[in-house]
């Protein structure tokens, strides 16, 4: 991009680093998606799409499906 010449060793190191970063990003995204899916199943019910917590009396509060 800056027209700086790179030797083949440095170029291969950069390519490997870019591939590794993309791999870590994809793995992190997959973990986050799994966590969201798992929490959605656990932290939702017929009234709430997201249960943020529970009152001292045990009643859930959060975002309703309409919201």
CB 65 within 8 A of CB 47: yes
pTM over 0.75: no
Task: Confirm whether 44 is domain-assigned.
Answer: yes
Task: Confirm whether 3 is domain-assigned.
Answer: no
* Residue-wise DSSP of 5-33: ---HHHHHHHHHHHHHHHHHHHHHHHHHH
Task: Confirm whether 54 is domain-assigned.
Answer: yes
Task: Confirm whether 12 is domain-assigned.
Answer: yes
Q: Which residue has the higher pLDDT, 53 or 17?
A: 17
Neighbours of 26 (CB within 10 A): 10
Task: Confirm whether 45 is domain-assigned.
Answer: yes
Task: Confirm whether 1 is domain-assigned.
Answer: no
pLDDT tens column, 13-46: 999 999 999 999 999 888 877 777 666 555 667 7
The number of distinct structural domains making up the chain is 1
Instruction: Give the range of the structural domain holding residue 26, as residue numbers without chain letter.
Output: 8-64
What local confidence, expressed as pLDDT, does residue 42 receive? Answer: 57
Task: Confirm whether 2 is domain-assigned.
Answer: no
What local confidence, expressed as pLDDT, does residue 34 receive? Answer: 79
């Amino acid at each position: 991009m800056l027209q700086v010449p790179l030797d083949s060793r440095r170029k291969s190191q950069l390519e490997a680093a870019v591939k590794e970063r993309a791999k870590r990003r994809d793995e992190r995204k997959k973990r986050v998606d799994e966590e969201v899916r798992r929490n959605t199943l656990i932290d939702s019910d017929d009234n709430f799409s997201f249960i943020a917590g529970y009152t001292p009396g045990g009643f859930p509060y959060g975002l309703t499906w309409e919201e």
